[in-house]
Amino acid sequence: MSALTLTPGMVTLDTLECIYRKEPAVHIDRSAREAIDLAAEQVAQAAKGQDAVYGVNTGFGKLASVKIAADDTATLQRNLILSHCCGVGAPLDRATTRLMMVLKLLSLGRGASGVRFEVLKLIEDCLAKGVTPVVPEKGSVGASGDLAPLAHMTAVLIGEGEAELNGERLPGGEALARAGLAPVVLGPKEGLGLINGTQFSTACALAGLFQAWRLAEATLVTASLSTDAIMGSTAPLLPEIHELRGHRGQIEVARAMRTIMDGSEIRESHREGDTRVQDPYCIRCQPQVAGACVDLLRMAARTLEIEANAATDNPLVLVDADRIVSGGNFHAEPVAFAADQIALAIAELGAIAQRRIALMVDPALSFDLPPFLAQDPGLNSGMMIAEVTTAALMSENKHLANPCSTDSTPTSANQEDHVSMAAHGARRLIRMTENLSHILGVELLCACEGVEHRAPLKTSPALQKVLDRLRETVPPLAQDRYMAPDLETAAELVRDRAIVSVLSENHMIKLGAVHAAG
């Protein structure tokens, strides 16, 4: 696809998701250059002056009182980057690393960092030519910026560190040379401007949000299938119920499920004469639970959209006021809270889905479905252990959903004495969405087995399309077989939006894009 032009301060989550999933080249709108150049010139003048300006002609953190000679400012910035390359663990995935680089471009592009335009241009060129820094995923506490991860990113820009190019892991300088690029020599404050900021935490949180939103869509499809499979009542989906409460997510989830299930013969077959007064909560309260999760994701989405467009380094160059001022925009508390919100939503979507699975495999509760959805039960175990796997995944997500934002530990000789732990909160989200996709994949398998057991009655036309899509790759469970590939295939159908894309917009949920949540 062609390169995207980004206007700092005005980039939407739709655009950021496109960058995350499709990895296009990007350019900062050149109208931003004037502000970038003015801030860089102000920093250059401060570096020549006698007044101490943090990070320009002083040391860093607890060493801020140490004055640095003008001749040593380039060495100061280079040393800063090399000394802060202390990340450990597996490398961050390519897509999230590129998103982090774009977020850094957007932050620098606000014209408040004092970083020269040529540095931004090198980041653009790295993105265009596929030079992706190798960034270890562990080492940030989410305050004073994501120092270690961003230092590994910046190291490649000065010809150090490591980068991936065309699938090969190379020394940073060699990767640049092969791509026809030259490293930069950092000027005053530029190293600090590049490693101060929340871009690692925000990129990881956005990646988690994008995946969580897809799964929130998918769970409404699997939930509708499960409701038909157990011949559940759709009376709890009546619009009057949800309008009386008033929560947007709840109203929209109920509307979506009504639309998806419209025309189901299974539902019509027991609308009259059903002796059950109430279904279990996992059926009856689906709009209340999933709707609350949708609302929570929207709140987090708004926070992350603001953060993605923010200037978050320190000090900031206030060009109009002719001041360079130390502040705390690098503190990632908003991102930490957003990540915790996303984690809660992921955990709860999985918790209620797991109970629907348990309902379908339990012959005491599943309204005439065979035990564990097995043909010839006893000889066959059916979905017995698939349900156990979902219980394990649900439990793991519950543990992972414990808040990270309430944790803190002093660092840097107590100079940085309260930190957000946003990086921890954000990094866990992809692991949690992987777990949720497998839970929903098993629900898809179970619900389709249950719906097929109701033949000759048919499910709704919309849900029949979903069932047909599954049966393209996973046959019915006529007898026990090696199950792991089926579980993985179903999870992929959920993750890749395959079971959502077969539905028309008229059938699909009316939740809107995440960026429209505000």
440, 290 in Cβ contact below 8 A? no
- Grouping H, G, I as helix, E, B as strand and the rest as coil, residue 176 is helix
- For the annotated catalytic residues, the residue numbers are 54
Which amino acid, 208? G
User: Which ranges of 367-502 does DSSP label H, i.e. alpha helix?
Assistant: 384-400, 422-453, 461-471, 484-495, 498-501
Place of tokens 């101490």: 52
Write the DSSP assignment of 132-157 as a string of letters: EE--EEE---SSS-SHHHHHHHHHHH
394, 351 in Cβ contact below 8 A? yes
Q: Within 10 A of 512 (CB to CB), how many other CB atoms are there? A: 12
Q: Are strands 162-165 and 132-133 parallel, antiparallel or unpaired?
A: antiparallel
Which amino acid, 382? G
Of 505, 29, 44, 95, the closest CA to residue 319 belongs to 44
CA distance 518 to 516: 6
Which pair of structure tokens corresponds to residue 74? 């380039």
CA distance 383 to 371: 9
CA distance 341 to 143: 19
